[in-house]
Amino acid sequence: MRSLLCALALVLSAWPAGHAAQPAPSAVSAWVAVPAAGATTASAYVEVSNPTMYEIYITGATADVAPKVELRAAATGGAEPAVIAEFPVPAYGGTAAAASAPHLRLVGLTRPLAAGDTVQLTLTTDGGATLKVTAPVRQP
């Protein structure tokens, strides 16, 4: 047993000084498009950074201004983006905060949104991690 503890101590002493855990995915940038007057939905765009070696999936989201948040596919050809169950964020990569990327639809807005307001968004990954970000409301 003593030799096992000595071996473990030797391995740990050889571990690089200042070695930190691998960086975690994060929501690094977000914005919400100003909805039309009287609208009950708004589109939110979030950039998700994934510096890990594993692809992750965004599987859900919440917003402080809507009881329901849908994950939407990237907009293509002017068609309404489809509701999706999840969207991938590649390993060592990220997603764009744009209509041309998967994004969020805030459904049932609880208050009107105007340019300059902010919305608190929380995204959930397939691993159960939560990514929080503040999204300013602005013109597209």
CB 21 within 8 A of CB 52: no
Query: What would you report as the CA-atom Rg of the chain, rounded to the nearest whole angstrom?
Result: 20
Question: Which CATH number applies to 19-138?
Answer: 2.60.40.1890
Q: Which helix (H) or strand (E) holds 2?
A: helix 2-14
* Closest by CA position to 131, among listed 58, 54, 45, 79: 58
* Closest by CA position to 102, among listed 127, 71, 80, 76: 71
DSSP single-letter state for residue 85:
S
The CA distance from 79 to 120, in Å, is 27
Q: What is the pLDDT of residues 101-116, one digit of tens each?
A: 999 999 999 999 999 9
| Ranges of each domain in the chain | 19-138
* Closest by CA position to 89, among listed 108, 102, 99: 102
Does the pTM surpass 0.85? The reply is no
Average of pLDDT values for 98-103?
Answer: 91
Q: What is the pLDDT of residues 34-93, one digit of tens each?
A: 999 999 999 999 999 999 999 999 999 999 999 999 999 998 887 889 999 999 999 999
